[in-house]
Chain A
Amino acid sequence: MRTSPSLLSLTIDSAVLNLSNIADLSPLPDHIVIDLFLRTLRAGKLTERVLKLFIDTGKDEVFSLIQALNIRVTLTPVLPTTIKDDEVDIVIGALRSDLTTFMNEWRPMFSRFHLIIVKDPDLKEELKIPEGFNLDVYGKPDIDQVVGSSTSILFSGYSCRYFGYLVSRKKYIISVDDDCLPARDPKGFLVDAVAQHIRNLTNPATPFFFNTLYDPYAEGADFVRGYPFSLRGGVKCALSCGLWLNLADHDAPTQALKARQRNSRYVDAVMTVPAGSLIPISGINIAFEREAVGPALVPALKLAGEGKCRWETMEDIWSGLCVKVVCDHLGLGVKTGLPYIWRTDRGDPIASLKKEWEGVKLMEEVIPFFQSVRLPREATTVEECIVEVANAVKERLGSMDPVFARASKAMLDWIKLWQSVGSSSSRSSAV
């Protein structure tokens, strides 16, 4: 005959069923805590919260049990489960030698991923990088060895990061400038820029019709009335352009004029840049699917007076225009908006004015060119598209300024490099 359960036993069973209402187990005697723990396990009710309840009792026997049974807390990933950590490379172009603060501030977001740090070949000092990261560092000798010293000119200054794109073997790349730190959203929470970029890249883009509620795949949003159903599947998002709080990416004249202006407006939106529309893509905070558009990010436009401040470059703007034209042609999407990063104050815009005028003047020719460039139907891969653009640059802009002729050649060299050194797994045609 089965003995009836004791009152204590019934109480413990009841406690297992009511674990969600219990906030503190420490007043309980040890043997009851253990019994409760074992019954919780048997009932399959051990969640992270419940485990913490038991750990907080501080009882040694609980700890021994946890160790003996090899119970471990798994952190719920922020990313959608379709992304594995080993699909992402974080590429940093180091223009400054001391990366300690930078890396430590980004540690919560970066530490789970592999990093590629490329040192600006012109930087003389040794890089200072804190411990605890899974990374590869490349410097001038590596660049020279891989691409040869004649082509290594492509990778000086801010363009050093493109070498990282070239040698990466991962599906997604996220790249931020080394003078940027994680930002905080209006609620005061640190923004995980990496997770947001990945979310942007792994959700479709909608370039053929503008959604007035912005990203229709965001939580709490959707397509609005009037949005054609046939377009609601979207297309692959190949590029994600983030923004900047504090020092926004203005050109030197604007920043010099509004010396004290800092960007404090947090616009809580991601949107697809419509097909056919061009945008100035800043390299300060971008991410892309390397397998889809890697070759299109070209280190090509080098201003004669290019310097070590963003105000003194246009390479990313040029690269972004190439990517957008190629994406439009191949039916891929480009998003802009979140995530924000915090860009630290640096440099003197007035000093940069002298150098940047060149870039500002060139844009007047560059934009109409990109707006009118037409890619032939036969160009079905990213590489073919870039070659077409490079040829068009030579033909239509080459005589205007030597910087364009050089850009055209750089683009062709880059494609050759990509084909020989770049990942052989790179799938580059349209979806």
Chain B
Amino acid sequence: MATVSPTPLLKDELDIVIPTIRNLDFLEMWRPFFQPYHLIIVQDGDPTKTIKVPEGFDYELYNRNDINRILGPKASCISFKDSACRCFGYMVSKKKYIYTIDDDCFVAKDPSGKDINALEQHIQNLLSPSTPFFFNTLYDPYRSGADFVRGYPFSLREGVPTAVSHGLWLNIPDYDAPTQLVKPLERNTRYVDAIMTIPKGTLFPMCGMNLAFNRELIGPAMYFGLMGDGQPIGRYDDMWAGWCTKVICDHLGWGVKTGLPYIWHSKASNPFVNLKKEYKGIYWQEELIPFFQSVALPKDCTTVQKCYIEISKQVKAKLGKVDDYFNKLADAMVTWIEAWDELNPSGNISAKIPNGASK
């Protein structure tokens, strides 16, 4: 990565949040890149099981008992038996940035054969601006070797702060169950050497496998919903967080990037198990997408928390009739914000609604 100045490590400003139910062997491969950082391990499933963390890492580990103890009755908003529980890690972190990764994701190689330092790329993405108001056909204009193209208005070239950096996956692609069933052997081998800002007003499916964000900016919106045990749905945790996050970022004038870095996704989950989990989601998302596409946040929602509470009200009003689950989810969203504010009393990033070239 030929940058003019080296990317800062940010080792005291970034936490790595890892949900796990198995083990953390994958960390060995990441050691050269992760060792400087503090890890927050969220242990899902049986709290009596001991998860061994490889030597030499600085970490804090939370199991279900810890979550219950720390949040008390509010712990009901944190999912059990689903990687959605990872958002507890976001809540207890005290750092400015979060990087979250799944425990079956390994270091990928770029086309030249070199190991990809995914964390470094995410940091670069987060530290450089986004350009959501006008699409740059050469993708990320702040990358070395690139720039804005002819016709790109100069007034928009400063960009806006980047709230989210969404990375991708080589090998096992993030397909839904039906696609997995139809194409069990398909592997993602295409290395697309680009980072781009997702335009304002456009929704996307946010995958939590390889994700970084500015916790101080957008943290409260990164609630991964009610999934897993006792819930009618699974594998839509990151989707839900992504739609809420994008709507709020669009409203507050922040950017969401997608593209590099790639990680190597090694484990294909069982498509039949996935189908059972996703089944309802596949139908519900037909309602959810129009809902999120039409969410209008009033001007006085100037903080992420206010935006989020407003969304939860609209979820209850408009999605409650799709299924009672959404009433529970709306309540859980409120609980989440309450818990967030309790654990993070001072942080209330307020954003001036931009009057830039917005629609």
**A112 contacts partner chain B, Cβ-Cβ < 8 Å:** no
**A168 contacts partner chain B, Cβ-Cβ < 8 Å:** no
Most chain A beta-carbon neighbours within 10 Å: one of B150, B168, B192, B199: B150
DSSP class of B's interface residues: helix, strand, loop or mixed?
loop
Contact at A224–B207, with CB atoms within 8 Å?
yes
A-B residue pairs, 7 tightest by C-beta: A226-B205, A280-B151, A317-B151, A277-B199, A210-B204, A274-B202, A279-B135
**A64 contacts partner chain B, Cβ-Cβ < 8 Å:** no
Contact at B150–A282, with CB atoms within 8 Å?
yes
Q: Which residues of chain B are near A280, meaning CB under 8 Å?
A: 134-137, 149-152
Q: Which residues of chain A are near B138, meaning CB under 8 Å?
A: 243, 248, 263
Which B residues are within 8 Å of any A CB, using their own CB?
A: 111, 133-139, 145-156, 166, 168, 173-176, 179, 183, 186-194, 198-207, 235-236, 238-239, 242, 258, 278, 282, 285-286, 289, 357-359
Contact at A214–B134, with CB atoms within 8 Å?
no
DSSP class of A's interface residues: helix, strand, loop or mixed?
loop
CA distance A41 to B173 in the complex (A): 45
Interface residues of A in 244-271 (CB under 8 A from B): 248-251, 254, 258, 261, 263-269
Chain A-chain B contacts (Cβ-Cβ < 8 Å), number = 185
CA distance A277 to B199 in the complex (A): 6
**A278 contacts partner chain B, Cβ-Cβ < 8 Å:** yes
Complex: chain B residue closest to A280, CB-CB: B151
**A4 contacts partner chain B, Cβ-Cβ < 8 Å:** no
Contact at A226–B285, with CB atoms within 8 Å?
yes
Q: Can you sample 29 A-B contacts with CB below 8 Å?
A: A209-B202, A210-B204, A212-B207, A220-B186, A226-B176, A226-B205, A226-B236, A228-B285, A228-B286, A229-B285, A241-B137, A248-B147, A249-B137, A249-B149, A265-B145, A265-B193, A266-B193, A269-B194, A275-B202, A276-B199, A276-B359, A277-B199, A278-B135, A279-B134, A279-B136, A281-B151, A310-B150, A311-B150, A364-B154
Name the distance in Å between B179's Cβ and chain A's nearest Cβ: 5
Q: Which residues of chain A are near B176, meaning CB under 8 Å?
A: 223-227
Complex: chain B residue closest to A360, CB-CB: B154
Name the distance in Å between A229's Cβ and chain B's nearest Cβ: 6
Contact at A314–B151, with CB atoms within 8 Å?
yes
Contact at A274–B179, with CB atoms within 8 Å?
no
Q: Which residues of chain A are near B149, meaning CB under 8 Å?
A: 248-251, 280, 282
Complex: chain A residue closest to B200, CB-CB: A277
Contact at B188–A220, with CB atoms within 8 Å?
yes
Q: Which residues of chain A are near B206, meaning CB under 8 Å?
A: 226
Q: Which residues of chain A are near B358, meaning CB under 8 Å?
A: 371
Most chain A beta-carbon neighbours within 10 Å: one of B137, B242, B258, B286: B137
Taking a contact as CB atoms closer than 8 A, the residue among A225, A243, A279, A311 that contacts B207 in the complex is A225
**A368 contacts partner chain B, Cβ-Cβ < 8 Å:** yes
Name the distance in Å between A232's Cβ and chain B's nearest Cβ: 10
Interface residues of A in 198-222 (CB under 8 A from B): 209-214, 218, 220-222
Q: Which residues of chain B are near A209, meaning CB under 8 Å?
A: 202-205, 289
Complex: chain B residue closest to A318, CB-CB: B151
Complex: chain B residue closest to A226, CB-CB: B205
Name the distance in Å between A198's Cβ and chain B's nearest Cβ: 20
Question: Given A254-B148, A276-B359, A367-B134, A225–B190 Cβ distance below 8 Å?
Answer: no
CA distance A291 to B59 in the complex (A): 62
Name the distance in Å between A312's Cβ and chain B's nearest Cβ: 10
Contact at A368–B147, with CB atoms within 8 Å?
no
Contact at A372–B135, with CB atoms within 8 Å?
no
Taking a contact as CB atoms closer than 8 A, the residue among A218, A231, A363 that contacts B151 in the complex is A363
Q: Which residues of chain B are near A67, meaning CB under 8 Å?
A: none
Q: Which residues of chain B are near A407, meaning CB under 8 Å?
A: none
Contact at B357–A367, with CB atoms within 8 Å?
yes
Q: A212-B205, A231-B289 are in contact. List 4 more A-B contacts (CB 8 A).
A: A214-B192, A220-B187, A222-B175, A269-B190
CA distance A265 to B150 in the complex (A): 18
Complex: chain A residue closest to B187, CB-CB: A220
Contact at A367–B174, with CB atoms within 8 Å?
no
Taking a contact as CB atoms closer than 8 A, the residue among B194, B282, B286, B357 that contacts A267 in the complex is B194
**A408 contacts partner chain B, Cβ-Cβ < 8 Å:** no
Q: Which residues of chain B are near A267, meaning CB under 8 Å?
A: 139, 192-194
Q: Which residues of chain A are near B199, meaning CB under 8 Å?
A: 274, 276-277
Complex: chain A residue closest to B258, CB-CB: A212
Q: Which residues of chain B are near A248, meaning CB under 8 Å?
A: 138, 146-147, 149
Contact at B135–A249, with CB atoms within 8 Å?
no
Contact at A372–B359, with CB atoms within 8 Å?
yes
Q: Which residues of chain A are near B139, meaning CB under 8 Å?
A: 267
Q: Which residues of chain B are near A228, meaning CB under 8 Å?
A: 285-286, 289
Taking a contact as CB atoms closer than 8 A, the residue among A186, A277, A282 that contacts B111 in the complex is A186
**A156 contacts partner chain B, Cβ-Cβ < 8 Å:** no
Q: Which residues of chain A are near B191, meaning CB under 8 Å?
A: 268
Complex: chain A residue closest to B167, CB-CB: A212
Q: Which residues of chain B are near A226, meaning CB under 8 Å?
A: 176, 205-207, 236, 238-239, 242, 285
Taking a contact as CB atoms closer than 8 A, the residue among B150, B153, B173 that contacts A224 in the complex is B173
